[in-house]
Chains A and B, each alone.
Chain A
Amino acid sequence: MTDAQSELTGTPAHAGVFTLVITGAPYSSQAPQTALDFARAALKAGKQIDRVFLYGDGVHLASALLAPPSDEANLARAWADLLTEHQIPGVACIASALRRGLVDESEQKRYQLPASNLVAPFEIAGLGEWVASTASDSRVLYFHKGA
Chain B
Amino acid sequence: MAPIHTLHILNKTPGHQRHEACLAALGPQDALVLIENGVLALAKGLDTDVACYALMPDASARGIEDPASEVTMVSFDDMVALTSAAENVISW
Contact = CB atoms under 8 A, between A and B. Distances in A.
B37 to A, nearest CB: 5
A147 interface: yes
Contacts, number: 61
A102 to B, nearest CB: 23
A141 interface: yes
A146 interface: yes
B81 A147 contact: no
Interface in A69-124: none
Interface stretch (B20-28, B43-51, B65-73, B84-92): B84-92
B3 A42 contact: no
A120 B18 CA distance: 34
Contact of B83 (A10, A12, A139): A139
Contacts of A31: 11
B83 A34 contact: no
Kindly state the interface size class of chain A when it binds its partner: 20 to 34
Nearest to B5: A12
A15 B18 CA distance: 26
B3 A15 contact: no
Contacts of B75: 41
A10 B3 contact: yes
Interface string A15-46: 11010000000000011001001101110110
Nearest to A42: B80
Interface of A: 10-12, 14-16, 18, 30-31, 34, 37-38, 40-42, 44-45, 47, 139, 141-144, 146-147
Interface of B: 3, 9, 11-13, 16, 18, 35-38, 57, 75-77, 79-81, 83-87, 89, 91-92
16 contacts: A11-B3, A12-B3, A14-B84, A15-B83, A18-B83, A34-B35, A37-B76, A38-B76, A41-B75, A47-B84, A144-B91, A144-B92, A146-B12, A146-B13, A147-B16, A147-B18
Given A12-B86, A144-B92, 4 more contacts: A11-B3, A34-B11, A41-B77, A141-B83
